[in-house]
Structure 1
Amino acid sequence: MPPVSVKPPPKNTVLVSHGRPPWYDERGNHTMNAFVVGIAGGSGSGKTHVARQIVRSLGSIPSVVILSQDSFYKKHTEQELVDAFANNYDFDHPSSIDMDSFAECLKDLKECRQASVPIYDFTTHQRLEERKYLYGAAIILTEGIMALQDAKLRALYDLKVFVHCDSDLMLARRIKRDVAERGRSVDGILEQYLRFVKPSYDNYVLPSQAHADLIVPGSNNQVAIELICTHIRRKLDERSNHFRAKMATPHLYTTPSGTAIPESTLDELDLTIMPQTRQIQGIFTILRSKTSSKQDFIFFVDRLSTLLVEHASQFLPYASRSVITPTEAAFDGKTMSAKHICGVSILRSGGALERGFRRVFNNVPMGSLLVQSHGEDGEPLMLHSMLPVCVRQRHLAKDTFVFLLDAQIVTGAAAFMAVRILLDHGVKQENIIFVTFLVAKGGGVPILRRAFPHMKIVTGDVDPALRDDSQGSDGKQVWAMLPGLGQIGDRYYL
């Protein structure tokens, strides 16, 4: 029975600061992978501390992932567990680490896909069955004693760092950590250090220093940290994308060939518009009126969202099914054949469609994305994602139909980012059904349509124009749909 220990802080973490800007262009193609920093060094040299110093020093940054090599220790046999508790297992040899899995997870994160990272428990010396979901990093800090030892890992790094530290200080740090966090005895720590840790450092870790772009001291390293942060900021600036203005006013820009982008017709936009019955026209009249009571507004938003989701459900797959009716007669009907269905709302206004969605699809998972505009340039920022399991797991995502919910498509910037996030997770483009109350014909929907032609867009109506409602001296651009519904999230929730 292993001794009780203090639970160590999590090593694989997502540290979100100011959100992630677009990593794609207006054609929907990836143009910016995450920036990856590999940090190697001896056990106790301060690799994790250096990674966290970098995060603190970056200041106003997009989302950051710290990915630890410690999670990728291999699953042990019963005999290996006996050796591990007796301090007879070599955890510091390259063969103890699942390098293939390590490189695969890092490659997925770098290429803007989600990754399921193993969880290793040092108190039981075993890899757990559960895994940690990571996604959305613009910067990945990868740390571990063998982080620079394997060629597959080195090929993924944009910057390679080696943390150099005095051997006595590394041993002192290791003793303090293993006693406090891993419940080990000092004698066992020293025995393991002399048998395995020190030889491994001399034979494998220290030689990998030759691959480093920068060698950082294990203490008093503020100057080196600032150099690294300056380099990262410059590289991120070089990779930044700015195209929200083009989405808001596409007719003012040109195609890659130099010709003007023509204004699209409704047929070219390939929208599924709710039949404009008298009921639908009456609902929109109430919703568009600024004198409507809050009670009426909420009631008819829920009513319209229910009708929209019902109309959108025609794009789900159905299979033939014969049943016997209560009158003992046969009836040939249809049954829904989608393996997985879920809803994802773009917060906050997308939440106004959730009640209608749940009325149509009972007991299906619901997720959310928080996408907001940057205060200076108006570009979208991914601040938070909480996706259902059927989307987070790639083998399920490919068979999942997602109802993406947002109140309006104006410039289309938030919609564009939300679709890109789903595609990054392995959801098929043709399995995304975007449900919205209104679409601005003169806004970003033509670019959204050209980038994702197989996605379905179901809307209640199409408004003809956008108006630049930028106010004040902050320089932030705001577009309003005309005649529009106003700020639906504010009207629904406040």
Structure 2
Amino acid sequence: MALSPSSLEASTSRQQPPRQAGLTTSSKTLVETRSGRSPWYGLDGLPSEAYVIGVAGGSASGKTSVANRVLAKLNVPTVAVVSQDSFYKPLNPEQSKMAFSNNWNFDCEAAFDQDLLKQCIIDLKNCKAVEVPVYSFAQHQRVDETKYLYGASVVIIEGLFVLSDPELRKLLDLKIYVQADSDLMLARRITRDTKERGRDVHGIIEHYLRWVKPAMDNSIQPTAKWADLIVPGQSNDVAVDVVAQHVKRQLDARANRLRSELSKTPMTPAARGAASTSASYETLQSALISRHFTGLSRTPSTSSLSDSSADISNNLTQAILPASVHLLPPTPQLLGLLTIMHDATTSAADFVFYTDRVCQILMEAASSHLPYREKSVVCGGTGRTWKGKVLDTDNVCTITIQRSGSVLENAARRSIPALVQGSLLIQSTQEDGEPQLYDVRLPDSLRRRSSATSSHVLLLDAQIGTGAAAFMAIRVMLDHCVPQENIVFVSILASAKGGIWALARAFPRVKIVLAGVDGGLRKCRIEYPRRGHELEDATRRLQGRAGTGPRRLLSDDEDDDDDDEDEDQEYDEREQEVSRSRTKTIWAITPGMGSIGDRYYRT
């Protein structure tokens, strides 16, 4: 599945006046997405740095062209391009008047907000979401609009003075200088400014001679000595290929594959000791019910029964969990609902009905972890005062991990009617089951850092097995500056092994609210039918192996009697391969409920 460029980047308007396309830096600042984004963090939950490329050079030397060509050559999931032009300092009315009369110097380092640029690159390098300013060349001014960027594994920053600042150079993993003849740059500048920015030739030449050329000779050209690679401003195919291949090698070396390790995350020593006691299943179950788990205060730990115990247990047979996990009290009602959901013979209609009931109980419990404050109200009829509680936050939202997490959405809306909702599309690869981030749709309160730091987020997913999707979703929230303690992960069922322990170690302040826990986690491969386009692709690949098609043509002097039978057998085998169902690696919770999303949506 491929992403559109708008999936991980979008612009946020704030009542800006109408403007002509192509006259702002918004078209230069983007995230190009080609496929899902693999984990960009380690088992400790900390992100791996994005690879940052700096592209410097004179005005109209071809910096933007080189950056875009490198972007096109890189076959990596997400690449961001940021233009230094976006960081021109705002002009006051007097300065703006001088700019329109060609009396303002835009070709000096002082014209740029270098501190804001460096902070932006630091945030992108650390995988955080940023809002990049948008500059209007026609208005000689920033506009009331920003460009939201998130999700880049490679960041390309291009501009006149990208290599001039020592602090900025330290942030760059690869430094490129684009070199072009001065006559060529002047010709390009005249063509660009007359066609795209509505300026007259006389003013362009005057500005060039007064500001641009001296800046090039005295300030920009000397920065070439800091470059790792000097690229010509034209006919640079070889140089672009070299850059692309170098970056690919660097990214391959940083690749993270975590799912198998997440599934094997051990319990704490204390929990292992508790789980290894000789207590019978009945003893553990009795202890669990007698303790009336409310999830509000418990000793840090987990539980995991032996495989033999897991075979006869329901999902509440563990009596020890990490401190960050809050399990609903195992009331007879809840046990009855979960039993129906575990039952493979439950009809589709009944499964939906009882799942909705469990989700409602679960969301009401999860909402208790949001901040509340005291409030006094006047009682109807009696006029007496009653002291109670009211939700104490203006920014609360749910983020659904599509698509299984959406089974919780209706319950969330009923619990908090004014809830703002967003979603993440996280899917597993067929080969090794690693999670990939395909789409990010967040409310404005999370995309703006000023409000994200005070936002509370309910992350919704149906199950936690290895915790790979949950791990990625929490990392996305942290990348948007949502505090750990403001995140509540809500799920119907989890495995006592692996995932919840990995989450608790990496994100100890994130609360996890569960309806039930099953004892086992098993790696397996499942079969499912190919889609139509996948059948076509497989057919073409297999026919390509046979050369000219399903059957090769024989020459007149070739004896085809013996070969014909072999050819038919080979063709039949290829047809079987094309029609064969695909297989996919998954980690199944045992005993488990199967795929809650598939059962709920009857797919």
TM-score (norm 1): 0.92
1:484, CA displacement in angstroms? 2.1
Is 2:144 the partner of 1:129?
yes
Flag structure 1 segments of 5+ consecutive residues without an equivalent.
256-260
Q: How does 1:81-100 map to 2 (within 5 A)?
A: 81-100=96-115
Looking at structure 1, the residues matched to 51 and 268 of structure 2 have their Cα atoms a distance apart, in angstroms, of 31
Is 2:438 the partner of 1:383?
yes
Q: Which residue of 1 aligns with 2:31?
A: 14
The answer to whether the 8 Å contact 1:366/1:388 transfers is: yes
Q: Which residue of 2 aligns with 1:415?
A: 470
Q: Which residue of 2 aligns with 1:275?
A: 329
Deviations 1:59-111 (A, max 9, x none): 2x121110110100010011111111112211111111111111111111111
Looking at structure 2, the residues matched to 437 and 254 of structure 1 have their Cα atoms a distance apart, in angstroms, of 24
Shift in alpha-carbon separation, 1:254–1:443, aligned structure 2, 3 A: closer
Looking at structure 2, the residues matched to 172 and 307 of structure 1 have their Cα atoms a distance apart, in angstroms, of 69
The answer to whether the 8 Å contact 1:5/1:183 transfers is: no
Is 2:318 the partner of 1:318?
no
1:213 to 204, 214, 228: 228
Flag structure 2 segments of 5+ consecutive residues without an equivalent.
1-16, 270-274, 277-300, 304-318, 528-580
- The AA in structure 1 aligned to 2:176 is V
Q: Secondary structure at the match of 2:525?
A: coil
Looking at structure 2, the residues matched to 5 and 364 of structure 1 have their Cα atoms a distance apart, in angstroms, of 36
1:347, CA displacement in angstroms? 1.5
Is 2:161 the partner of 1:146?
yes
Looking at structure 2, the residues matched to 488 and 47 of structure 1 have their Cα atoms a distance apart, in angstroms, of 50
Looking at structure 2, the residues matched to 302 and 268 of structure 1 have their Cα atoms a distance apart, in angstroms, of 25
Aligned length: 485
Identity over aligned pairs, percent: 46
Q: How does 1:397-416 map to 2 (within 5 A)?
A: 397-416=452-471
Moved more, 144-153 or 63-72: 144-153
The answer to whether the 8 Å contact 1:54/1:225 transfers is: yes
Q: Which residue of 2 aligns with 1:258?
A: none
1:396, CA displacement in angstroms? 2.1
1:164, CA displacement in angstroms? 0.8
Looking at structure 2, the residues matched to 264 and 3 of structure 1 have their Cα atoms a distance apart, in angstroms, of 58
The answer to whether the 8 Å contact 1:6/1:181 transfers is: no
Q: Which residue of 1 aligns with 2:40?
A: 23
Shift in alpha-carbon separation, 1:290–1:211, aligned structure 2, 3 A: same
Shift in alpha-carbon separation, 1:288–1:6, aligned structure 2, 3 A: same
2:121 to 93, 106, 110: 106
TM-score (norm 2): 0.76
Moved more, 460-469 or 483-492: 483-492
Higher Cα radius of gyration: 2
Shift in alpha-carbon separation, 1:242–1:329, aligned structure 2, 3 A: same
Looking at structure 2, the residues matched to 380 and 352 of structure 1 have their Cα atoms a distance apart, in angstroms, of 20
- The AA in structure 2 aligned to 1:488 is I
Shift in alpha-carbon separation, 1:376–1:145, aligned structure 2, 3 A: farther
User: RMSD value over aligned CA atoms?
Assistant: 2.5
Q: Secondary structure at the match of 2:488?
A: strand
Q: Secondary structure at the match of 1:453?
A: coil
The answer to whether the 8 Å contact 1:3/1:183 transfers is: no
Shift in alpha-carbon separation, 1:50–1:318, aligned structure 2, 3 A: same
Looking at structure 2, the residues matched to 316 and 254 of structure 1 have their Cα atoms a distance apart, in angstroms, of 28
The answer to whether the 8 Å contact 1:6/1:183 transfers is: no
Q: Secondary structure at the match of 2:438?
A: strand
Shift in alpha-carbon separation, 1:123–1:375, aligned structure 2, 3 A: farther
Shift in alpha-carbon separation, 1:358–1:118, aligned structure 2, 3 A: same
Q: Which residue of 1 aligns with 2:4?
A: none
Q: Which residue of 2 aligns with 1:164?
A: 179
